[in-house]
Every structure is written in C-alpha cells, then in structure tokens.
Amino acid sequence: MRFSKGPARALCMLLGVWMAAANVCVPALAEEYYDESYDESWSDDSWSDDSWSEDSWSDESWDESWDDSEGSDTEETEYIPEAYYAPIQTNALSGWPQGQAVQAASAIVMDMDTGAVLYGKSIFDQHYPASITKIMTLLVAVENGDLDDVITCSEEVYNIEAESSHVGIAPGEKVTLRQALYGLMLESANDLAMAIAEHIGGNVSGFAQMMNEKAESLGCVNTHFVNPHGLHDPNHYVCAWDMAKIAQAAYQNETCRKFMGTVEENIPPTNMTEETRYFINHQRMLRTDSEYYQSWCTGGKTGYTSDAWNTLVTFGEKNGLRLVCVLLQENGLEKQYLETTDLMNYGFDNFSHKTVDMQVESPTFYELIGFNYPNPDGVIYQSDELKQKVLTISDPGTVTLPEGIDTNSLTAGGGENPGQVLYYYEGQLVGSGQIGFTPIPTGIHYAYEEKRDMDTILETAKKTKRENEIEETFQKAWSNIEHFGENSYQWVVNYIESNRMAVVLAGALVLFVLLILIAIMIMRVTSDYRIRRRRKIEERQRRRREEEIDRKSAVEIEEELREAMKAEQEKKLREEKRAALEREKEEKLREAESVLEEIERMEQAEREVKGSSPVNEK
C-alpha cells in the first residue's frame, strides 16, 4: 500500500501543535516520524519508478510543511535538554578554540588521519547508538565477506520490531552481499542487517561477538553490541569516543567509504519480487536537494529510537582535513544537522596539520652490546654493520593543532603498537608518529675482515617463533571453544528459565513425535516379522513337496501327472461348456431383442396409418 503523505502530514501538524503546548520537543517527533516510521513503512511494494518522483515527495517539502505547522511559537516553546549545559572538555585546554554548546548529550569531532580530538563533550559517557550501529555491521561484513556472495534470507529477517525500518525482504529471497549492504546503509534496513549477520556470523549472536571483538581491537573502551541493527537493547551501547574510532576505521576502508558516501542505489528484481527497490541515503547533508546539504560532506549514517533519541555520524573533507563528527542523544532531526554543521566548520576553520620535529637519541649496536673488537695491531675496530643506530625515525609524526599552539608544547608517550609515539597537548591526544627498529645485522665483519654468518641463528629464532605461534593459536582456539561452550550452555539455561512454558510445550511435542515414531517402528517390525514368517512357511511347504517327489517312483509321478492333466482337461471342457452356454444365451437374447424391435416397428407403422386416415377421409 502506498504511504499517503497528506493525512500523515495533517496528523503530524496536529500532534506538533499539541506537543508544543505541552512544552515537548517537536523536532524529536519529526525525526521519529520521518526517519523511522516513514522509512520503516516504505517497502518494495510502495516504492517504484511510476509511483515516486522528486516533485511528489522531498525533504524540503516535508520540512517546510512541518515548520509552517509550528507557527511563530516554536522558539518560545523549544525544549532544551539538561545536557545542553554540560561542560565541553576541550574548552578547558589552554589556547584551544572555544567550541559552542550543543544539545546533544555527547559529541565529538575527530581528525581521522591523526586521531586528534578537536571537540569533545562527555565523549566517554555511555549512550544507545540506534542505527549508527550499522557502520560497525558494514565494517565487519566487508572485512569478513565477499561482496558477490549470494545471501539466501531466512526467517531471521522477520525477527525485528514490526514498525522498524525495512525493505520488505522475505525468507527464501536471494540478494548479493553488495546489494544488502546498500540497503543497510542507505535505507537503514533492519531486515537486511539480520540477513547479513546470519550470513557472515552464522547467527546473530555470533555476528555480535565479531562486532565486539572488532571494537576491542580498535581500542574501544565503553562499547557492547548485541545486534547488527541498533534497535533498542539495554546491553547495546557505545560512547562517542568509541563510535568515532569505529567510524574512523570504516572510513579508512575504501569499500566501506563507498557504501557510506553513496546517495542513491537500488536492488533489481530478485527471485521473489518483480519490483526494483530504490534507496536514498538518509544522511541529508549528502543530498544536493536538501536544505542541510554541505559540499564537504562525504558520507555518514543517521539513527533514531525513542530510547536513543537522534544519533548521527558525519564524515567530511576540507582544507586538507578529514574529520568525523558523532552526536549521541541529540534533541531532534533539525538540531542534529545544524549542530553537526557548526561543529565540522569549527574543526575545518580552526585546525590544521603540523609536523613534529622529533629527535631520537639512540645507541649503536656496539654501544648496546658494550664491547669492541681489537685487530692484531691493538687498534680498536668497529664493523660498519654494528655502527648503525638501533632506533630510527620512520615517521616524525603529524598532529592537528589550532593556530598559536606550537609542537614544542606537546608531550609524547608510547602507543599500543610497537614503535608508535602518541602526542598529547595537556593530556588531549593530538596525533602520532612512528619510530622504526633497525634490523639486526645478518653478517658482521670482525677485526680480521671475517664475516660471521648468522643464518643458523636466525633460522633457529624463526623456528622457535613458529612453534610459539602454533602453541598460541592452539591455546586461543581451545579458549574460543570453551568460551563458545560456556556461552551456549548459559544461553540454553537462560532461555529455559525465561521460556518455561514454551520449553514444556516443545518437550511435550517432541515426546509426542517420538511416541509416533516408536509406534511406526513397531508396526514396521511387526509387518516385517509376518512377511518373514509367511516366507518361512512357504519355504517349508516347498521343501516338503520336493521331499515327497524324491520319495515317489517314476510310475507314481507319471500317474500323478496324468491325473493332473486329466483334471486340467476336465476343467478346460467345463470352461468351454460354460462359454458355449453363455454364447447361446447371448444369441437368444439378441434374437428376442430383434423380435421386440420388429414388433415395435410394426406397432409404429400401424399408429402412423391410423393417424393419417382422418385426413384422407376429408
């Protein structure tokens, strides 16, 4: 059924007036209606080339009608959440550009190249992500799947909230992973999220575990996923810092970047539908027909649930910077776009990249091992190989800083990766560099110009490393098996406790089926026994006849054969007589029928003669 815009718009206008009088946030309602209710009800049956056009429905027409319905009292009754007054941590840095207050409960602007946090407000607080969860779903799917894989959807696609965003995919329908990911990122399709999770992870819980493992590897500190779509669950949460790290990793993947930056795409007819499904990205800052369009915007993802409020991730490139902005628990659709625009422009206008002049004091290999080699004349000799410094600068480091702050004011610390150097300004991460390690010399010139071959040492070291890696892999695999077993057992126990009646009914049904199967097996066994018994009796009779034949003489056998032939002849004669009698009866019957027919013809002729006589008299 096609979604009717007129009645829905009128209803929302009435609701907007009522909620404005009650001092409730109208923009939040608009976002709930448009991005979730409207998009979720949109399916392949209601979206087609013939039924949709830019003129009949657009962001601008919807937003303008909503604004008109609010009248002039909107600003007077605008709801401002308490989070608006929460402190902005980056504003406390000396000489740092002051960022504006936002109504989002948590907000961050991060440089995706350096990892620098340019704007931060409550970035480690826990919030519900809603559909921006799908950025992690996209990243895990792209890293672990083949885009040309064909997904056969199961009943799992129906395991979502009835009114949530979907594209009307059906069990048994086949789509490629590439098509499913476009539906996931542009249409925010929760049914496709379930299909992707089952295809990549085997089941939803397995895929969620992959999501959590990926989050841990990215350094997330306050994130836990339980589903691939972001529909509300108390145990499904993120913080702004973690979401920015996830978005950064996705943006650095070229394939993910393409999915997140596509404006329009479609799924052609499948094995179960003749309609083409068309998608338009919900991130309005990407779309040139939207009032929120920004030329620097390169992608993003929207989200909304009644528990999460509005959530938004936005990517942008300008002035040599590649930034990502994350807003969590934002107060309405309009606010999320306006505040994102302000924060991204704040980053582009006030910050730039600077190279750190890093100096590393490193000992040489000779200084590290602590001795030299004298030659025969007593002169100290050092080989060129061991004169090399142990540490070298692979990457001096790039940081993101505002004007007026010099790199000399930065402090350095070790990173998670070997040789990584992190730079901080008053405890705030602003960039990183890399120190390299000079390879251990494989050959050393001694005092007598002799060269020592270290291949044997290196081969032994490689062998030991391989053995250690094998052992670690085995231990990890065994640990994963134990963890899976424990989780499975706990899941079964929890399921039984929370679904006792269903478990009892299922058990009774299984028992009933088992009883039926046992009855069928007993019947089959009894039937087989009867057949075998009958065959044994027939076999005994056959053997008895054979024994009787063996005991009789040739004369007796001949006499029996004559009697049998005589009986057969008599039987044949009786059958011939019976056949002759039947033929005789049939002939008599035919003769009688002929007589009757003749009589009937005569009577008919007589009636015809009598019927014509009065006419002749006249």
Catalytic residue numbers read 131, 134, 188
- Cα maximum dimension of the chain: 174
Q: What stretches of 229-277 show up as alpha helix (H) in DSSP? A: 240-251, 254-261
To the nearest 5 percent, what fractions of the chain are helix, strand and coil? 55, 15, 30
Pairing, β 380-381 against β 443-445: unpaired
**What phi, psi does 542 have (nearest 5°)?**
-65, -40
Count of CA atoms in the C-beta half-sphere (13 A) of 417: 12
Burial of 609 (0-12, 13-18, 19+ CB in 10 A): exposed
Q: Would you say 398 and 113 are in contact if contact means Cβ atoms under 8 Å apart? A: yes
- Token look-up 């090399």 returns 388
Please tell me the distance from the alpha carbon of residue 70 to that of residue 586, in angstroms, as a whole number.
103
The SS3 call for residue 405 is coil
Q: What is the DSSP secondary-structure string of 170-196?
A: -TT-EEEHHHHHHHHHHS--HHHHHHH
H or E stretch including 354?
strand 351-355
Query: How many C-beta atoms surround the C-beta of residue 569 within 10 A?
Result: 10
Q: Which two tokens stand for residue 241?
A: 């810092």
Q: Which two tokens stand for residue 302?
A: 């929207």
Q: Is the Cα torsion angle 388, 390, 393, 394 positive or negative in sign?
A: positive
Give, in degrees to the nearest 5, the angle at Cα 109 between 107 and 111.
Answer: 155
> With b meaning 16 or more CB within 10 Å and e meaning fewer, what string describes 386-415?
bebeeeebebbbbbbbbeebebeebeeeeb
